[in-house]
Amino acid sequence: MESLNRLYKKYFWYFAFTLPVGILLGIISMHVLQIINDALTAGVENITYSAKQFFATIGVLFALGAVNEFVKIRLVVNASRDIHSRLVDKVLGSSFERVEKVGLPKVNATLSKDVDTAIKFFQVLPQMVANISLIACAIAYMAYLSLTALMYVLALITFAGLSFTLIILLSRKYLQSIRECADSLMEHYEAIVKGKKELSLDSKRQRYVRKDIRSTLELLRKNNRSALTLFGMLEHWGQFILFAILGVILYYLGMTLGLDKTVVVGYILTLLFILEPIEQVTQASTDLMEAKVAFKKIESLELSDDFIDKEQEVKALGLNLNLRLRNITYRYEAEVESEQGFKIGPIDSEFKAGEATFIIGGNGSGKSTLFKMLAGLYGPTSGELQYGDITVEESNIVSYRECISLIAADFWVFKHILIDDSGEDEKLLQQLVSLLKLDKAVEVIEGKWSKTTLSQGQRKRLALIQSYIEQKPIVLLDEWAADQDPVFKKVFYEEIVPSLKAQGKVVIIVSHDDNYYHTADRLMELRDGQLILHKTNKPAASPQNDQFFKVLDGCKE
Ligand SMILES: Nc1ncnc2c1ncn2[C@@H]1O[C@H](COP(=O)(O)OP(=O)(O)OP(=O)(O)O)[C@@H](O)[C@H]1O
């Protein structure tokens, strides 16, 4: 409950404010009830309290209520903003490995559902404090009217309280199951949207998917039914208990204890007055229980609690240095306990600045895993990564990642283009756009791509432009050319890669384009987790008739 505690501490003063105000509201309300009670029992002709005093009192009641409401609203809106931005910080601050393990559906469900439920905590707690204060004042007033009658009433209230607690505890397991169902539903929704093509072509698969979703929905229905039944019972049970107390006062206490008319009227008035606050407190208890489940769910993702300093710019470790892997291994956690997770390594190799290494390997040989490790997204299980003389470790991993430009197999193109404000970079950007024939597909408007809903090959070209322009010293391209037509393959292997090398970058490419293997300085294969050198080349240093180099030359002018 780390997040809850932190926010609770931050907003402690808001909560602290609602307690005395609630008590004050309770005392004044009881005072107003006492005036009405006196008038009812003594007759309106004998009222001692003036109308002026009466209206002034309820005016104070209104003003205090308004201030309380004002504080409550500020608390809710501020807490809502904080919980949202805290979660974004948590996702951004967590390691790639953790977020990958949690998975998109769970992150989505938390961001969309848990946050709103968690906010209920801040909505209902001040209200609950105010209502409980009011109920406490009502109890004090009833004690003032008759202590003996209060004993009976309190016994009934204690019984009611215990039954409420039992119902709320029973509801907890249903709420937790409802939350689990929300995660599964998110997974199903992701599958039916992303797998729409496959589903449209296969009615058998559709039936399976529908069956799966229906069973989740059925589980959700059952849990919802149980939770809502308990909550509904709670509300009506509260009302029943209150009327039962009124009945006990009317039919038994008045006669057996010989209570005065003022006491009976006072008790009935007070109990009717706190009917709504009691209902609100029972409703709030269920909301608080839901909010607690949501906070628990947020915690269970085990996302980082380290705050990110958004303004702080991280400096890259260095430029034009060699990348060395020293007996490095990486092993995934096993999904089944009896089995071992996939492992690559130990790998001992050096990738030189100004050289391009092509890596080949069969499906599942670990190419993408190796790239994630080279990029510093996966920490090695053993061995170490050295950039120049610097060993990459916990203390400098963030700076190391700043050296990496990665276009992964499942890459993402952000609309915002990260570019220096210098006119040169803008000119280079425009020239790259036309070189890669994207000028008809997209525009650059105020530093953003006009759209990113392009074909896979075109989006990869956008990603390559971003990668080129961000000037990072290590460039990792996972099968970049696989989706490109022959023209762009040629531009890529014969112009772009040599240009990256000419800038002194470490270039590592997963490639299966054997027509262009001769353009690599080294061709390596990942097989059984081992990186094997196949051959070394001496590719031409600068290509002939190079339109791309002309582009770059043009920029330098
Ligand atoms: N997140 C993960 N958790 C556990 N195991 C994984 C994970 N990602 C990949 N693996 C395992 O690692 C192995 C290598 O996967 P990887 O994606 O690195 O291969 P690849 O060589 O890039 O394959 P392809 O050519 O098909 O893209 C696979 O057998 C896979 O089961």
273/30 Cα distance (integer angstroms): 9
User: Is 417:448 a contact under the CB 8 Å cutoff?
Assistant: yes
If residue 407 lies in a helix (H) or strand (E), which one and from where to where? strand 404-407
Closest by CA position to 330, among listed 384, 393, 284 = 384
Pocket of ligand 1, candidates 331, 369, 381, 528: which has the most ligand atoms within 8 Å of its Cβ, to mutate?
Answer: 369
Which pLDDT band, with edges at 50, 70 and 90, does 163 fall under?
confident
| Residue 65 clears pLDDT 70, i.e. is over it | yes
Q: What's the 367 CA to ligand 1 centre distance in angstroms?
A: 8
| Residue 544 clears pLDDT 50, i.e. is over it | no
* Beta carbons within 8 Å of 451's beta carbon, 6+ residues apart: 442
41/235 Cα distance (integer angstroms): 32
Tell the residue nearest (CA) to atom 13 of ligand 1: 364
Helix axes 115-145, 2-10, angle to 10 degrees: 60
Same domain, 398 and 545: yes
> How do 448-449 and 444-445 pair as beta strands?
antiparallel
Which pLDDT band, with edges at 50, 70 and 90, does 545 fall under?
very low
pLDDT in tens, 338-364: 778 899 989 999 999 999 999 999 998
Same domain, 133 and 226: no
Instruction: Say which CATH number the domain at 524 has.
Output: 3.40.50.300
User: Is 378:309 a contact under the CB 8 Å cutoff?
Assistant: no
Q: What are phi and psi of 551, to 5 degrees?
A: -60, -50
> Which of 17-21, 92-96, 298-302, 487-491: highest mean pLDDT?
487-491
Cα separations (Å) of 9 from 87, 205, 285, 292, 297? 17, 51, 21, 16, 20
367 lines ligand 1 (CB under 6 A): yes
529 lines ligand 1 (CB under 6 A): no
347/530 Cα distance (integer angstroms): 6
Tell the residue nearest (CA) to atom 3 of ligand 1: 332
Q: What's the 5 CA to ligand 1 centre distance in angstroms?
A: 39
| Residue 546 clears pLDDT 70, i.e. is over it | no
> Which of 4-13, 23-32, 310-319, 458-467: highest mean pLDDT?
458-467
| Residue 325 clears pLDDT 90, i.e. is over it | yes
96 lines ligand 1 (CB under 6 A): no
218/419 Cα distance (integer angstroms): 51
Instruction: Say which CATH number the domain at 88 has.
Output: 1.20.1560.10
- pLDDT of 310: 52
User: Is 518:493 a contact under the CB 8 Å cutoff?
Assistant: no
Between 89 and 305, name the one with better pLDDT: 89
What's the per-residue H, E or C state across 402-466?
CCEEEECCCCCCCCECCCCCCHHHHHHHHHHHHHCCCCCCCCEECCEECCCCCCHHHHHHHHHHH
Judge whether 394 lies within some domain.
yes
| Residue 487 clears pLDDT 80, i.e. is over it | yes
**Ligand 1 atom with least separation from CA of 526:** 21
Q: What's the 22 CA to ligand 1 centre distance in angstroms?
A: 59
Amino acid letter, residue 148: T
364 lines ligand 1 (CB under 6 A): yes
ipTM: 0.96
Q: What's the 366 CA to ligand 1 centre distance in angstroms?
A: 5
Q: What's the 401 CA to ligand 1 centre distance in angstroms?
A: 21
Task: Please tell me what DSSP assigns to residue 49.
Answer: S
Mean pLDDT of the chain: 85
Tell the residue nearest (CA) to atom 4 of ligand 1: 332
- pLDDT of 382: 95
**Ligand 1 atom with least separation from CA of 333:** 4
Same domain, 463 and 492: yes
User: Is 357:366 a contact under the CB 8 Å cutoff?
Assistant: no
Task: Please tell me what DSSP assigns to residue 346.
Answer: E
Tell the residue nearest (CA) to atom 27 of ligand 1: 363
Pocket of ligand 1, candidates 329, 330, 331, 332: which has the most ligand atoms within 8 Å of its Cβ, to mutate?
Answer: 332
Same domain, 368 and 458: yes
User: Is 385:323 a contact under the CB 8 Å cutoff?
Assistant: yes
> If you average pLDDT over residues 496-522, what whole number do you get?
93
Q: What's the 514 CA to ligand 1 centre distance in angstroms?
A: 23
| Domain, as residue range, for 359 | 323-554
Give the count of domains, the chain. 3
Between 462 and 315, name the one with better pLDDT: 462
Same domain, 86 and 30: yes
Same domain, 360 and 443: yes
> If you average pLDDT over residues 164-168, what whole number do you get?
83
Q: Which two tokens stand for residue 322?
A: 């060699």
Pocket of ligand 1, candidates 365, 407, 525: which has the most ligand atoms within 8 Å of its Cβ, to mutate?
Answer: 365
Same domain, 409 and 392: yes
Tell the residue nearest (CA) to atom 11 of ligand 1: 342
112/106 Cα distance (integer angstroms): 10
| Residue 183 clears pLDDT 80, i.e. is over it | yes
* Beta carbons within 8 Å of 381's beta carbon, 6+ residues apart: 329, 330, 331, 343, 345
> How do 474-478 and 506-510 pair as beta strands?
parallel
- pLDDT of 548: 60
Please provide the DSSP assignment of 492-513 as one string: IIIIIHHHHHHTT-EEEEE---
> If you average pLDDT over residues 253-269, what whole number do you get?
82
103/120 Cα distance (integer angstroms): 26
pLDDT in tens, 280-308: 887 788 788 888 888 888 887 777 666 55
367/362 Cα distance (integer angstroms): 9
If residue 432 lies in a helix (H) or strand (E), which one and from where to where? helix 423-435
> If you average pLDDT over residues 125-150, what whole number do you get?
87
Tell the residue nearest (CA) to atom 16 of ligand 1: 366
SS3 category, 478: strand
Whole-prediction pTM value? 0.74
Q: Which two tokens stand for residue 542?
A: 């600068």
**pLDDT-wise least confident of 34-43, 442-451, 498-507:** 34-43
Pocket of ligand 1, candidates 342, 480, 525: which has the most ligand atoms within 8 Å of its Cβ, to mutate?
Answer: 342
110/101 Cα distance (integer angstroms): 15
Handedness of CA 190, 192, 193, 196 (dihedral sign): positive
8 lines ligand 1 (CB under 6 A): no
- pLDDT of 381: 94
Judge whether 269 lies within some domain.
no
335/319 Cα distance (integer angstroms): 39
Same domain, 135 and 155: no
Judge whether 403 lies within some domain.
yes
| Residue 370 clears pLDDT 90, i.e. is over it | yes
Place of tokens 């609309």: 415
**Residue 260 region by backbone torsions, left for phi larger than 0, else alpha for psi between -120 and 50, else beta:** beta
- pLDDT of 448: 87
User: Is 511:497 a contact under the CB 8 Å cutoff?
Assistant: no
Judge whether 318 lies within some domain.
no
503 lines ligand 1 (CB under 6 A): no
Q: What's the 343 CA to ligand 1 centre distance in angstroms?
A: 10
Judge whether 314 lies within some domain.
no
100 lines ligand 1 (CB under 6 A): yes
User: Is 150:139 a contact under the CB 8 Å cutoff?
Assistant: yes
Q: What's the 414 CA to ligand 1 centre distance in angstroms?
A: 25
Judge whether 39 lies within some domain.
yes
Judge whether 270 lies within some domain.
no
535/525 Cα distance (integer angstroms): 10
> If you average pLDDT over residues 1-25, what whole number do you get?
76
> If you average pLDDT over residues 121-131, what whole number do you get?
82
> If you average pLDDT over residues 312-318, what whole number do you get?
70
365 lines ligand 1 (CB under 6 A): yes
Q: What's the 325 CA to ligand 1 centre distance in angstroms?
A: 20
> If you average pLDDT over residues 462-477, what whole number do you get?
92
| Residue 543 clears pLDDT 70, i.e. is over it | no
Q: What's the 188 CA to ligand 1 centre distance in angstroms?
A: 23
If residue 535 lies in a helix (H) or strand (E), which one and from where to where? strand 530-536
**pLDDT-wise least confident of 136-145, 286-295, 318-327, 534-543:** 534-543
Q: What's the 492 CA to ligand 1 centre distance in angstroms?
A: 26
Q: Which two tokens stand for residue 538?
A: 């001496």
Same domain, 293 and 392: no
Judge whether 536 lies within some domain.
yes
> If you average pLDDT over residues 435-449, what whole number do you get?
88
User: Is 312:132 a contact under the CB 8 Å cutoff?
Assistant: no
| Residue 398 clears pLDDT 90, i.e. is over it | no
Q: What's the 326 CA to ligand 1 centre distance in angstroms?
A: 22
**Ligand 1 atom with least separation from CA of 371:** 18
- pLDDT of 357: 96
45/464 Cα distance (integer angstroms): 90
> What are the b/e assignments for 329-352, b being 16+ CB within 10 Å?
bbbbeeeeeeeeeeebbbbeeebb
113/20 Cα distance (integer angstroms): 33
Q: What are phi and psi of 516, to 5 degrees?
A: -115, 10
Tell the residue nearest (CA) to atom 25 of ligand 1: 363
Q: Which two tokens stand for residue 166?
A: 């039992």
369 lines ligand 1 (CB under 6 A): yes
Same domain, 401 and 532: yes
Place of tokens 């309300």: 29
Angle at 83 between CA 7 and CA 19, to 5 degrees: 40
Q: What's the 35 CA to ligand 1 centre distance in angstroms?
A: 77
CB-CB neighbours of 167 under 10 Å: 19
242/337 Cα distance (integer angstroms): 55
549 lines ligand 1 (CB under 6 A): no
> If you average pLDDT over residues 108-128, what whole number do you get?
81
**Ligand 1 atom with least separation from CA of 362:** 25
Same domain, 432 and 460: yes
Which pLDDT band, with edges at 50, 70 and 90, does 330 fall under?
very high
Which pLDDT band, with edges at 50, 70 and 90, does 556 fall under?
very low
**Ligand 1 atom with least separation from CA of 101:** 1
Same domain, 437 and 384: yes
| Residue 2 clears pLDDT 70, i.e. is over it | no
Place of tokens 């322009």: 469
- pLDDT of 352: 94
